[in-house]
Amino acid sequence: MRELRRYSLLRISAWLIVAIVMILIFSDKDTILMWGDNKTKTILLAVLIAFGLGSDLIIRSVINKKGLIKDDYKNQKAINIGLIATLIYVFTASIVLYTYFENSGLVSVGWLWFLAYSTIVFVNVAVGISCLFNEKRR
């Protein structure tokens, strides 16, 4: 099962690269304030998500082809843990955005896009980490 751990680490690493670059893009003040005016950053973020999903697809196809996941219950458990963590993340991030922008009554569209993109990244990292820890316990 050492090979499955390696693939889990590759999967987590790919999504962490996406997360780091995404955070760098969104940390620029202009990204949030002028979301609609910056098509380059929009396309770059779409390419990043495509990179993450593409690497995930390749890794999953290799895992399935080699038949490394035999215990469907443990795999499903790891997915459930990752999805619960994602629900908590989305709820908490939404509450933080609401609380921060409550007085102005407006949330910048850039923050909503950040929440959308970061949810995709977060769910993949959370499920990957959950699979890694679940594999360690086998």
pLDDT per residue as tens digits for the range 100-138: 998 888 888 888 889 999 999 999 999 989 988 877 665
Helix axes 72-101, 109-136, angle to 10 degrees: 150
Q: Which residue has the tokens 């102005």?
A: 104
Give me the mean pLDDT over the 91-103 stretch: 93
Q: How far is CA 16 from CA 9, 36, 101, 105, in A?
A: 10, 26, 28, 33
Q: What pLDDT score was predicted for residue 32?
A: 77
Per-residue pLDDT band at 97 (split at 50, 70, 90): very high
What is the amino acid identity at position 135?
Answer: E
Tally of domains within the chain: 1
Q: What is the span of the domain harbouring residue 116?
A: 2-136
Asked if residue 113 lies in contact with residue 93, where contact means CB atoms within 8 angstroms, the answer is no
Cα separation, 115 vs 52, in Å, equals: 17
Q: What pLDDT score was predicted for residue 69?
A: 67
Residues 127, 10, 60, 41, CA torsion sign? positive
Cα separation, 114 vs 95, in Å, equals: 14
pLDDT per residue as tens digits for the range 34-88: 776 778 888 889 999 999 999 989 988 887 787 766 666 777 888 899 999 999 9
Q: What pLDDT score was predicted for residue 51?
A: 95
